[in-house]
Structure formats: structure tokens, C-alpha cells
Chain A
Amino acid sequence: MRAAIGRDSEPKTYLVEAGAIRRFADAIGDPSLLYRDERAARKSSYGGIVAPPTFLRLFRPSPAIPEFPNPLSSVLDGGSRWEYFEPVRPGDRITVTIRLVDLYERAGSLGNMLFAVRENRFVNQSNALVAVDRDTEIYYDAATKEVEHDG
């Protein structure tokens, strides 16, 4: 299982569409004009429309696809650690590479849990690193343990 650690996924490239940014901002309930009004956004330090900080989630599978034989059928998101380097703009072509960086077991409120830590690296068409999201997913077996209400 641990043999999967450290290997990069096949890179995938996605186009950032203005409509996708607006729909994402609508879905999270953020009315900022930075995400939908080019004229207003031009006056900002960004000089134009940009994507909200977590928009890049769109460019990776959620939940992630396990790189290892996974015996546990249920999954919860454990957390995210984003670092930002460049803004994401409409028309950008973003290439994402995913790497499993850690895998460990722990017992807790979900019974036996398997933690998978992945680094998602996002690079734009100018080959500039725009963001890195290090996220944790928690695999568990719903049959062995009733999840407590307070998680």
C-alpha cells in the first residue's frame, strides 16, 4: 500500500472558464464582484476577474481516487492546506499533478481510519506554480462503527 507514496499522477490540464468561476462563487454564496464583473475587478490589485481561493478544487477529483488497494469504502475530508503563488484568471490553462505523500492508520471516532495525505500542485500555462493544496482524506468502514454525531 505504501508503495504508492511519492509517485506523481498523470498531469491533467483544464481551462478556467469565466462561467465556472461565477458558478463557483454563486455556489459558495460569495457576491464579490472580483469573481464576476470585469470592469469592477479591473480596479483591484488583480487587474481583472480572478477565481476564489478554493476554486481549484474543481480541477481534481473529489473525493480523490485512491492510488492504492483500498479496503475501506467510506471517506471523509480531513482538511486542506493551501499555499497561493499566482492568481487564477479566466482563460488560464491549469495543469494539476497529484502526489500521495503520506498514508497512516489511526483509531478514533470512526473506528479504524486510514489517513491519506496528498499534494495537489497547480501550474498555469506560463509554467508558473499557482497553488499547492495539501489535503487529507480519511477512509473508514461504516459497517464496523456507527459514526458519532459530533464526528
Chain B
Amino acid sequence: MSVQVYFEDVQEGTELPVLRKDPTTQQLVMYAGASGDFYQIHYDQDFARANGLPTVIIHGALKNAFLGQLVTDWVGEHGTVKKLTVQYRGMDEPGTPVYCKGVVTKTSLEDGAGLVECDIWLEDHQGKKTTPGSAVVALPLRAG
């Protein structure tokens, strides 16, 4: 597993390592099966169009999961996710890469826990932020 990040290592402005994802229609079907979300706008193009969509779109909850991975990858096996918030402002289609990004907005020590707040978001391949959000995590302390 990757190198552990500690509370003392981060400050306001610290960027989270970018997570690139390459969602395909196959992944949407896998996600439908694994999550139990079988709404047809995610795999049936005719159904998606009949519901006013340009084509099948990525499940919002899958983008939520990608942003969850952005955060869990970063906090490592000794950090924990406390809060995870996402808003689906724009739709994303399978077939082009998406990029999960984040930046630290606040750090605080509360009852001996190193709490870190971040802005997080998902961008499409044209750099448009379709899915903004935020996270609160607890990072381990070096001087534990």
C-alpha cells in the first residue's frame, strides 16, 4: 500500500493526488449490478433519449464512489473519512476520462484528532467541473 500521509504533512492549499478514471459502458453495467441501481438511463440508449438525455450517462453514485476513492487513496489505511459530499451539477458520459481532484481548505486539531477539510471535484476531459463536493477526513498524527 502507498505511503501514509500524516496530519503534520498537510496545510491549506495542499493538493490531493489526482485520480484518473476511464469509465466505460461496461463499467456502468458492472456498477449497476454491484450497487443494485438498474435505472435504464445508465445502459439503454433508447431509454436515455426517451428521458431527454443525449445518451447513457454515468451514475451520479459512481462519480460519488470515484471521489470516495480519491479521498481514501489519499488518507491511506490509517486515515478515516468522516464526511463526503457531492453535487451532480453536470452529466458525464462513458467513453472519455474523468479526473478526480481535491485541495485542503482547513486543518484543525480536535480532541487529539487531526481533522482536514477539502474541496473535492470531478472534471470531465474538457476540464469542466461537473461534480463538486467536499470531504472531512481524520489523518494520523506523527506526534501521536
- A residues adjacent to B (C-beta < 8 A): 20, 23-24, 26-30, 32-34, 40-41, 43-46, 52-54, 57-58, 61-63, 73-84, 110, 140, 142, 145-147, 149-151
- B residues adjacent to A (C-beta < 8 A): 1, 21, 27, 30-31, 33-37, 39, 41, 50-54, 59-62, 64-66, 68-69, 71-73, 77-91, 128, 130, 133, 140
A32-B1, A43-B77 known; 9 new pairs, CB 8 Å cut-off, are A27-B31, A29-B27, A29-B66, A57-B35, A76-B41, A79-B60, A80-B84, A84-B84, A150-B90
B68/A53 in contact, CB under 8 A: yes
Instruction: Report B-chain residues with C-beta under 8 Å of the C-beta of A32.
Output: 1, 69, 72-73
Instruction: Report A-chain residues with C-beta under 8 Å of the C-beta of B61.
Output: 54, 57, 62, 77, 80
B34/A81 in contact, CB under 8 A: no
B91/A151 in contact, CB under 8 A: yes
The SS class assigned to the B binding surface is: mixed
Which of B51, B77, B140 is within 8 Å of A142, CB to CB? B51
Q: How far is the CA of A140 from the CA of B34 in the complex (A)?
A: 26
Q: How far is the CA of A83 from the CA of B128 in the complex (A)?
A: 27
Instruction: Report B-chain residues with C-beta under 8 Å of the C-beta of A29.
Output: 21, 27, 66, 69
Return the chain A residue nearest B73 by Cβ. A32
Could you list some 21 contacts between A and B, CB below 8 A? A26-B30, A27-B31, A28-B34, A28-B68, A30-B69, A52-B69, A53-B65, A53-B71, A54-B61, A54-B68, A63-B39, A77-B60, A79-B88, A80-B85, A81-B84, A84-B80, A145-B52, A147-B54, A149-B91, A150-B90, A151-B90
Q: How far is the CA of A109 from the CA of B65 in the complex (A)?
A: 25
A28/B66 in contact, CB under 8 A: yes
A44/B85 in contact, CB under 8 A: no
Instruction: Report B-chain residues with C-beta under 8 Å of the C-beta of A26.
Output: 30, 34
